[in-house]
Amino acid sequence: MNNKKFTDFQILDCTVRDGGYVNDWKFDKKFVREVYRALSKASVDFVEIGFKGTEKYFDREKYGLWRFSEEKDIHNVTANISGSKLAIMADYGKIETEDFCNANESLIELVRVAVHKDDVKGALSLLEQIKKKGYKVSLNVMGYTNYSKTERNDLVDLLKTVNLDYVYIADTYGSLFPNQVSQIFEPLLEISQFKVGFHSHNNLQMAFANTLEAVSCGVHIIDSTIYGMGRGAGNLPTEVIISFVANRKGDKYNPIPILNIIDRFFVEMQNHNRWGYQLPYMLSGLFQCHPNYPKALMDLREYTIEDIWKAMSHIKKKNPVGFSKSLLDDLIKEGVIGSGKIDVRKNSLANSNKLLFKIDAPKISYLDKHKERDFLVLANGPSLKEYKYKIDKFIFKYDPIILGANYLGELFKPHYHAFINKRRFVAYIDTVSSSSQLLIGQHIDDSLIHEYTNRNYENIYYIDTLNSDFEIYKGVITSNCRTVSILLLGVAIVMGAHRVFVAGMDGYVSLHLGNALHFYNEKEETEDRQVIYEKHQWCQYFIDQIDKFLSKNDKEGVHIITPTSYKSFYKGIENYI
């Protein structure tokens, strides 16, 4: 690559805008001012000062200033600093022409509009109106790697007919490799009426290499962020590209101001708001899809990477635009993830919530094995440890069949110890008491089981579904099995329980326990409050379903005997001991 190439391109730093995904754009004004000062000293060509967004599309309480980037705030953070030109970004569909004043009343020089392929024509119309107000304008094409050959040709033909200043290609999912770059940019670079830009993402650690290749092809402007700050795996680090150019004896850029501000702000900021290369974002890059797909699956902590890889293959085939939670839910409901040992075919009955099952499976080994016995299910909430002494007294008095799961920390030695989650099986199988009989869910492969233990075990057969009521058919349980403790309530019924008691089922949303999930420290448990809340709601639903099932069969309902946020099932242990 010759040095001349590195005098021909510009750098647009989008730290305040793209980095805002990390903290909902809640940067204080001093921070933004110091970022702008440092980038100006470094001679960066453009600084993107945030998003412009129409208020009716966004919650002012949720987002910080730089999701809206009002003129008065831009004036405050840039006053008396002479330096980089200012740019701003808008999402097509979340902005209107009226949100922009005339360019002669604004400090903004460049307006960029990000758009998915279905809305390109609308975005071009919007940019035409914004350009009439005196701004330079840029079309930022998202998800370009997922365009078909025909769609790419159509876009190139369309761009030959419009009046733009810039056209950007965004490697939205960070899925590009250097050998793919030239074929993307060469057709665009043949169009002379606009400059071509590249916005890279670092999912596969290729942002720097891809940017160098794009510059080598003749791309006019590239994006970067300080310390690579940005959504998911982040972006090309500004300090890296500037240092690279400076080391090639270029005299345009100075990396020192950027390095200083990283030391002042960004190192500590990354400790509190993670960004950069991580496994979910690598998978997002490999499968060319939104990073929320692998992240959501990993947050559930139910699936191995092999399971997630299989799910991502299916998602890629569907080629979705953006992230669709319903698509992910459908894959889970359809059984795409996991490998069953039984053949289950389900057909909904008209006007009925029940399901017909055709099951080709061995006879359930524990069916009616402990008829009319009391059962105690041990969940893993903090109260299990806090109430150990009283739980021991309960066990001594009632002599229940005890079902436990995952990690019990040698607090108790249950009659049966269960796993339905591959990751937890691998992590905790070595902690199971030698006196406990193993129960292992059918979706954990025999080969994996034998790799980690030579103990005998019985299979739990169940149908994991969110769209059916709790049911038992020939010992096979229908339930949402995201929580093994809920499934064990069903197992107790299959075994012939007279009464079902539960300890340690504190609930995923428990104010009196500060939202603690387990009595032990499971470091990788998700902190995503929405995921936690959804788990809590589904558990509540299926406990209620199991309770009704027991009542319908002339049994007492579910008794949770330690403090719980599932209040309608709580009766304190003191009432029994």
Is the pLDDT reported for residue 239 higher than 70?
yes
pTM above 0.75, yes or no: no
pLDDT, tens only, 377-403: 999 889 999 999 999 999 999 999 999
Is the pLDDT reported for residue 564 higher than 80?
yes
Is the pLDDT reported for residue 354 higher than 50?
no
Residue 196 DSSP SS3: strand
Whichever domain contains 51, its CATH number is 3.20.20.70
Of 333, 356, 372, the position where a domain reaches its end is 333
Residues 130 and 203 in one domain: yes
Residues 215 and 362 in one domain: no
pLDDT, tens only, 226-235: 999 998 889 9
Of 272, 301, 322, the position where a domain reaches its end is 272
Q: How far apart are CA 315 and CA 325, in angstroms?
A: 11
φ/ψ of 262, rounded to 5, equals -60, -45
Of 272, 303, 320, the position where a domain reaches its end is 272
96 is a domain residue: yes
Residues 292 and 233 in one domain: no
Is the pLDDT reported for residue 498 higher than 70?
yes
Residues 369 and 286 in one domain: no
pLDDT confidence bin for 510, thresholds 50/70/90: low
Residues 138 and 259 in one domain: yes
Across the range 112-127, mean pLDDT stands at 96
pLDDT confidence bin for 183, thresholds 50/70/90: very high
Is the pLDDT reported for residue 341 higher than 50?
no
β-bridge pairing 355-360 and 343-348: antiparallel
Residues 368 and 436 in one domain: yes
Share of the chain above pLDDT 90, in %: 58
Whichever domain contains 486, its CATH number is 3.90.1480
38 is a domain residue: yes
538 is a domain residue: yes
Q: In the structure encoding, which two tokens stand for residue 233, read together?
A: 């795996």
Residues 234 and 302 in one domain: no
| Contact (Cβ atoms closer than 8 angstroms) between residue 526 and residue 301 | yes
pLDDT, tens only, 282-332: 787 788 778 788 878 877 766 777 778 878 888 888 777 778 887 877 776
Residues 268 and 283 in one domain: no
Q: How far apart are CA 493 and CA 23, in angstroms?
A: 47
pLDDT, tens only, 441-487: 888 889 889 999 999 999 998 877 666 678 888 888 887 666 889 89
| 3-class secondary structure per residue, 451-484 | HHCCCCEEEECEEECCCCCCEEECCEEEECCCCH
pLDDT confidence bin for 342, thresholds 50/70/90: very low
Model pLDDT, residue 437: 96
Q: What is the number of structural domains in the chain?
A: 3
Residues 256 and 285 in one domain: no
Is the pLDDT reported for residue 153 higher than 70?
yes
Model pLDDT, residue 340: 41
Model pLDDT, residue 256: 92
338 is a domain residue: no
Residues 99 and 243 in one domain: yes
Residues 404 and 303 in one domain: no
Across the range 510-524, mean pLDDT stands at 53
Residues 26 and 62 in one domain: yes
Is the pLDDT reported for residue 553 higher than 80?
yes
Residues 6+ apart with CB under 8 A from 198: 168, 169, 171, 185, 210, 211, 214, 219, 221, 222, 223
Across the range 259-281, mean pLDDT stands at 87
Q: In the structure encoding, which two tokens stand for residue 64, read together?
A: 């910080």
| Residue 283 lies in domain | 279-333
pLDDT, tens only, 205-222: 999 999 999 999 999 999
Residue 228 DSSP SS3: helix
